[in-house]
Structure 1
Amino acid sequence: MLEKILVVDDEHEIGDLIELYLKNEGYTVFKFYSARDALAYIEVNELDLAILDVMLPDMNGFKLCQKIREQYNYPIIMLTAKDEEIDKITGLTLGADDYITKPFRPLEMVARVKAQLRRYKKYNLSHSEDTEDTVIIHSGLVMDIKTHECLLNEKPLALTPTEFSILRILLENKGNVVSAEELFHRIWKDEYYNKSNNTITVHIRHLREKMDDTVDNPKYIKTIWGVGYKIETQI
């Protein structure tokens, strides 16, 4: 089955370039130049991933991202023309899984799309050949890896694929510190991490907000300053 990808960018040349490279990889692409048209399509069609430009004529990409996250958990990649941390942090905080700064290398864009789709497909399979350890239970947290569902004190946690991946890795490594760099490489499967990259930090912050956790008195995710993150074996 061909993955269906939504592309929303009012710059026709950029949209056409993204469409060309994704179609060359065998993906089905639905391209729109406005948020209004994209929303009309989203409401009645299934998708596997969305690429959203931040600067759109009728609605900014952050708002569009928010509207998608109200109903869907497929990966969202933001496109920003500004190399500013505030844009990246805003997008990730609102539920985006990754960001790409314009101008970008098309092959890097394709690599990021593939990484997001691999994880999304892996955690959304309706069945799995490996039935061992498909449910992780820890201090009120219940994570079902096979169904991609997570409960906290019997209440559903609405996690993005990236948030689910981070929490799973930390739970599977209970008692051990996992560095931001290791989390990054295990999730994205590539090498575009650098020391100034705060992607993992923002996702951890968003996870804590959803779990009603804090940095100063963590119930679940503990920051080991200068090293990484860990979940204690017992709380």
Structure 2
Amino acid sequence: MPRALVVDDDPHIRELVALYLKDEGFDIVEKTNGADALAYAENHAVDLAVIDIMMPQMDGWELCSKLREFGDMPIIMITAKGETQDRIHGFKLGTDDYLVKPFDPVELVLRVKALLKRYRISVSNIITLGHLSLDRSRYLVVYEDGQTKTIPMKEFELLYKLGNYAGQLFTRETLIEQIWGLDYEGDERTVDVHIKRLRERFPEAESGFRIVTIRGLGYRLEVTAQ
């Protein structure tokens, strides 16, 4: 399931946001300040960030800017600051949306859903790619005829990441960080090896998708089946 990082020093706000996002299928990670949130995001895949502005150790402005360095992910700021200049500043730093406290949790959910649609992020554990589906709850590849296949976990996670953001470019560095973690001691060629194995396991003619190499940049998955 997609993971939401909820960052706020107010436990009541975190509890409220977590309650509603869990109902939408999110795995919730709560942090009380920007520094802890950044440390988590550096070593774990995050699909959505909901962050406050006024926090100890690192405020939401700085956290938003640093999260953007990891690549594209939906970011929503929830704050007591409602002035126009604050909103403009937030958008310049890379936030996708902005809610002012007190806010309606239902409105938050609607805004999250709109961002997920824009980013093409599925809240289901199952995504469909061409002629097969990936079931993350069981780590199974399921074909249209009902047959299943099990592949190594890192290959599955890599394919699921690329497939969940079909059409989006991922650098090797980003894939290493999000799949293997920043403490991984290998090099970026690990990604190339896993991509080669995935291409061998899932030829385009049979799977209905292909993994494209963007020379000097990275990879993206393209669904080709109609």
TM-score by length of 1: 0.52
Q: CA shift at 1:146, angstroms?
A: 5.3
Q: Which residue of 2 aligns with 1:27?
A: 26
Residue 85 (structure 1) shift: 0.6
**2:23 equivalent to 1:16:** no
Q: Are 1:3 and 2:2 matched, yes or no?
A: yes
Alpha-carbon distance in 1 for matches of 2:68, 2:55: 18
The C-alpha deviation readout for 1:72-99, integer Å capped at 9, x for no partner, is: 2111111120221111111111111111
Q: Report the residue type matching 1:31 in the other structure.
A: E
> Which blocks of at least 5 consecutive residues in structure 1 are unaligned?
130-144, 150-235
The counterpart of 2:167, out of the listed 126, 147, 151, is 147
Corresponding position: 1:118 with 2:138? no
**Which residue identity does 1:25 align to in structure 2?**
E
SS of residue paired to 2:120:
helix
- Say if 2:79 is the partner of 1:80: yes
Which runs of no fewer than 5 residues in structure 2 stay unpaired?
132-164, 170-226
1:38 pairs with 2:58? no
What is the deviation of 1:58?
1.2
CA distance in 2, matches of 1:126, 1:63: 36
Cα distance in 2, alignment partners of residues 122 and 29 from structure 1: 16
CA contact (8 A) 1:8 1:31 kept: yes
1:159-189: per-residue Cα shift (whole Å, max 9, x none)?
Answer: xxxxxxxxxxxxxxxxxxxxxxxxxxxxxxx
User: Which residue identity does 1:81 align to in structure 2?
Assistant: A
Map 1:76-225 → 2, pairs under 5 A: 76-121=75-120, 147-149=167-169
How many equivalent pairs are there?
132
Aligned equivalent of 1:156: none
Question: Residues 120-139 of structure 1, C-alpha deviation per residue, up to 9 Å, x if partnerless?
Answer: 1269x99679xxxxxxxxxx
Residue type matched to 1:24 in 2? D
**Residues 1-46 of structure 1: CA distance to partner in whole angstroms, max 9, x if unpaired?**
x211110000111111101111122211111111111111101110
Aligned residue in 1 for 2:63: 64
- Structure 1 pair 46/122, CA: closer, same or farther in 2 (3 Å)? closer
Q: How big is each residue's C-alpha offset from its partner over 1:106-152, in whole Å with a ceiling of 9 and x where there is no partner? A: 000011111111221269x99679xxxxxxxxxxxxxxx95235xxx
Whole-angstrom distance in 2 between the partners of 1:59 and 1:36: 5
Q: Is the 8 A contact 2:5 2:29 kept in 1?
A: yes
The alignment's TM-score, normalised by the length of structure 2, stands at 0.54
1:121, 1:24 → 2: CA distance? 19
Check whether the contact 1:80–1:87 (CA below 8 A) recurs between aligned residues.
no
**Other-structure match for 2:174:** none
Using CA pairs under 8 Å that are at least 6 residues apart, name the structure with larger relative contact order, 1 or 2. Answer: 2
SS in 2 for 1:72: coil
- Matching residue of 1:158: none
